[in-house]
Amino acid sequence: MNPLLVTTTQAVDPVFMFIFGICLVLLVGITATMVFFVIRYHRSRAPRPTSQADGNLWLEIIWTAVPVVLVLAMFYYGWSGYLTLRDVPKDALPVTATARMWSWSFTYLNGKESPKLYVPVGRPVRVELVSKDVLHGFYIPAFRVKRDVVPGMKNYAWFVATRPGSYDLFCSQYCGVGHSKMITTVEAVPPAEFTVWLKQGGGGAQAGKELLEKHGCLGCHSLDGSIKVGPSFKGIWGRSETVLTAGKEHTLTVDEPYLRRSILEPQADVVKGFPPIMPPFAGTFTNEELAAIIDFLRAGPAAPPKPDGAQLAQEKGCRACHSLDGSPGVGPTFKGLYNSQVKVKMGGVALTVTADDAYLRESIRLPAAKVVEGFQPIMPTFADLRDDQVEALVEFIEEQR
Ligand code: HEC
Ligand code: HEC
Ligand SMILES: [Cu+2]
pLDDT at 103: 87
Nearest ligand to residue 381 Cα: 2
Please list every protein residue whose CB sits less than 6 Å from any atom of ligand 1.
Answer: 212, 215-217, 219-221, 229-231, 236, 241, 254, 259, 262-263, 266, 270-271, 274-279, 281, 293
Ligand 3: centre distance to CA 44 (Å): 60
- Nearest residue (CA) to ligand 2, atom 20: 331
pLDDT number for residue 205: 59
Confidence of residue 97 (pLDDT cuts 50, 70, 90): very high
pLDDT tier at 206 (50, 70, 90 boundaries)? low
Pairing of strands 117-120, 184-189: parallel
- Looking at the chain, the whole-number percentage of residues with pLDDT higher than 90 is 41
Least confident of 92-106, 125-139, 285-299: 285-299
Lowest mean pLDDT among 16-30, 114-128, 285-299: 285-299
Q: How many angstroms is it from 298 CA to the middle of ligand 1? A: 15
**In whole angstroms, what is the distance from residue 175 CA to residue 117 CA?**
21
Q: What is the pLDDT of residue 95?
A: 92
**Which residue CA neighbors atom 42 of ligand 1 most closely?**
278
Q: Please determine, for residue 294, whether its predicted confidence score (pLDDT) is greater than 90.
A: no
Percent of the chain with pLDDT over 70: 96
C-alpha of residue 249 to centroid of ligand 1, in Å:
18
Residue 66 clears pLDDT 70, i.e. is over it: yes
Q: What does the pLDDT look like over 310-334, one tens digit per residue?
A: 888 988 889 889 999 988 888 999 9
Closest ligand to the CA of 358: 2
Q: Which residue has the higher pLDDT, 140 or 50?
A: 140
pLDDT exceeds cutoff 80 at 377: yes
CA distance 170 to 149: 12
- Indicate the range of 179-193, 197-211, 218-232, 326-340 predicted with least confidence: 197-211
Average pLDDT over residues 10-37: 94
What mean pLDDT comes out for the span 152-156?
91
Q: Where is average pLDDT lowest: 20-34, 190-204, 233-247, 320-334?
A: 190-204
Over residues 327-348, mean pLDDT:
89
| Span 258-275, average pLDDT | 90
Query: What confidence score (pLDDT) does residue 308 get?
Result: 86
Residue nearest to atom 11 of ligand 2 (CA): 331
The pLDDT value recorded for residue 25 is: 94
Answer whether 318 contacts ligand 2 (Cβ < 6 A): yes
* Pocket lining: 375 vs ligand 2, CB cutoff 6 Å: yes
This prediction's pTM: 0.57
Which candidate, 101, 109, 106, 94, places its Cα nearest to that of 156?
94
User: Does 301 score more than 80 pLDDT?
Assistant: no
Does the Cβ of 363 fall within 6 Å of ligand 2?
yes
Q: pLDDT band at residue 304, thresholds of 50, 70 and 90? A: low
Catalogue all structural domains in the chain, each as residue range(s) with its CATH number: 8-86 (1.10.287), 93-199 (2.60.40.420), 215-299 (1.10.760.10), 309-399 (1.10.760.10)
Mean pLDDT computed over every residue of the chain:
87
pLDDT of residue 300: 66
Q: Which residue has the higher pLDDT, 361 or 177?
A: 361
pLDDT at 32: 97
Degrees (nearest 5) of the Cα angle 68, 70, 73? 105
Return the higher-pLDDT residue of 387 and 186.
186
Summarize the confidence of residues 75-87 as an average pLDDT.
92
pLDDT attached to residue 110: 76
| Of 33-42, 226-235, 354-363, the least confident | 226-235
Average pLDDT over residues 154-159: 93
Average confidence (pLDDT) over 230-242: 87
Has residue 201 got a pLDDT over 80?
A: no
